[in-house]
């Protein structure tokens, strides 16, 4: 069982919780995810199954899109609504212009300090494990890119936003830092991830929908030709498919300009990601199907 599927993660569940649930639904141990989503957050969580777990390396730098709500008036130790307040709440009313004047500082390439309750490692230990033990957590600013950050509406002490960010960006830190700039404290009250790379929320299934689909025998996986759309596709004949699967180089005359390609056998069996060695000669960087199977041609 090899494939990628998209789950609409519910609030309160960790990404690992979802992976465990999927293992039980599919009766498959080899399951992973393409980027952790905080327990509080909902939305797009792409999961890779079987040999396709090896595709995770191509999504390490995946762009992400979010919608969410920032609440002003107090900060929390986790930078979100699940944490404890770090100062007494203040009654505050902000207008859209005030919030927008601060938001402009969070567009483009910026320096950002990750939250203390995060997966960032300090001497090999995730920061959140130290924070939970009330040990000192010192994280240094890192460079991140916020490609889009739009305040779509606001009322009193809340602002609703849309964002498109590069990998490694924490929207919790954006909320916290906006509160610091306004001098009133703030935290991320709600967050929904609407896209990861090519995977979007309108294609996602809830865990309940997934379980029902699997029980009825419906295909729940993203069609392999939709994966990694930045890479061109090539369909191998029997001889070239056998060479690719055995790790031998292959000539793909029609792809002389491509650096990497997705190699298919038939219309829907993704068997490898191949890298150009020289000219039209390609060698498998990643073999996803080592044995030939029967595929409708």
For residue 159, pLDDT beyond 80: yes
* Least confident range of 145-154, 207-216, 221-230, 288-297: 288-297
For residue 79, what are the contacts with CB-CB under 8 A and spacing of at least 6? 115, 117, 170, 172, 173, 175, 176, 187, 188
CA distance 56 to 234: 21
* pLDDT (average), residues 162-182: 95
Q: pLDDT grade, residue 295 (50/70/90)?
A: very low
Q: Which residue's structure tokens are 């919030």?
A: 99
Determine the Cα–Cα distance for residues 137 and 156; give it in Å rounded to an integer: 33
Region 246-253: mean pLDDT is 88
Residue 177 bears catalytic tag: no
Separation CA 31–CA 221 (nearest Å): 13
The pTM (predicted TM-score) of the whole model is 0.88
Selected catalytic residue, list 38, 80, 157, 177: 38
CATH number for region 3-62+198-215? 3.30.2350.10
Q: Which residues of the chain does CATH 2.30.130.10 include?
A: 224-287
Mean pLDDT of 201-229: 95
Range(s) within the chain of domains with CATH label 3.30.2350.10: 3-62+198-215, 64-196
pLDDT at residue 167 is higher than 60: yes
Does the pLDDT at position 246 exceed 80? yes
Helix (H, G, I), strand (E, B) or coil at 84: coil
Average pLDDT score, the chain: 89
Rounded CA-CA distance 258/214 in Å is 37
Give me the percent of the chain exceeding a pLDDT of 70.
89
Phi then psi for 248, rounded to 5 degrees? -95, 150
Question: Domain 64-196 carries which CATH code?
Answer: 3.30.2350.10
- Could you tell me the CATH superfamily of domain 224-287? PUA domain (2.30.130.10)
| pLDDT for position 291 | 62
């Amino acid at each position: 069982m090899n494939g990628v599927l998209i789950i609409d993660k519910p609030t309160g569940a960790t990404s690992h919780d979802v992976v465990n649930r999927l293992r039980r639904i599919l009766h498959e141990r080899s399951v992973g995810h393409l980027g952790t989503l905080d327990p509080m957050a909902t939305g797009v969580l792409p999961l890779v199954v079987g040999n396709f777990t090896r595709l995770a390396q191509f999504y390490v730098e995946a762009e992400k899109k979010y919608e969410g709500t920032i609440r002003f008036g107090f900060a929390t130790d986790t930078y979100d609504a699940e944490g404890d307040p770090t100062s007494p709440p203040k009654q505050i009313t902000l207008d859209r212009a005030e919030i927008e004047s601060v938001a402009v500082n969070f567009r483009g390439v910026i320096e950002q300090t990750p939250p203390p309750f995060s997966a960032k490692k300090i001497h090999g230990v995730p920061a959140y494990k130290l924070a939970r033990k009330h040990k000192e957590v010192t994280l240094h600013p890192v460079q991140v890119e916020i490609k889009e950050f739009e305040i779509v509406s606001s009322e009193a002490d809340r602002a609703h936003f849309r964002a498109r960010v590069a990998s490694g960006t924490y929207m919790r830190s954006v909320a916290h830092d906006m509160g610091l700039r306004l001098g009133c404290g703030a935290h991320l009250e709600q967050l929904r991830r609407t896209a990861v790379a090519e995977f979007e929320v309108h294609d996602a299934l809830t865990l309940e929908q997934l379980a029902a689909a699997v029980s009825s025998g419906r295909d729940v996986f993203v069609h392999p030709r939709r994966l990694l759309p930045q890479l061109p596709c090539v369909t191998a004949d029997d001889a070239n498919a056998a060479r690719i699967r055995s790790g031998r180089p292959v000539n793909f005359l029609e792809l002389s300009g491509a650096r990497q390609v997705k190699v298919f056998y038939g219309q829907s069996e993704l068997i490898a990601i191949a890298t150009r060695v020289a000219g039209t000669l390609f060698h498998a960087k990643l073999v996803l199907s080592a044995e030939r199977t029967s595929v409708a041609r």
